Amino acid sequence: VFCTAIGLPGNIISIVFFTTSGIKASRGNVNKAFFNTVYILTAVVDTLICATLLPQIVSFLRHREEAWFGNTAFCYIWGILWEVLPYMSVFLVGIMSIS
């Protein structure tokens, strides 16, 4: 609950900040525009990771009822996101570290 309560607003603020600073950076410096794009993508992925915790939180607060997990299509999409997003986050952090 704490991760989502802090992570969602913090990452949304980061997205807004890097989007507005990215507009200024894209006017001249290509390197700065690239890094802003990487930061925006990292914040978007982290926001999605925090958002994928919401169904688990709802299920936990309802004493382990199915809640959203009763829907097969939702489970399928959630499972894909839950597997792919952490890898994307690690990849983007690696890109930031290398460059």
Largest CA distance in the chain: 54
Give CA–CA dist 99/95, Å, rounded.
Answer: 6
Spatial contact of 85 and 49, defined as CB atoms under 8 Å apart: yes
**88/2 Cα distance (integer angstroms):** 22
Q: pLDDT value at position 28? A: 66
State if pTM tops 0.85.
Answer: no
Q: What is the pLDDT along the chain (99 residues), one digit of tens a residue?
A: 788 889 899 999 999 998 887 666 556 677 777 888 899 999 999 999 999 988 888 888 888 877 778 888 988 999 999 999 999 999 999 998 887
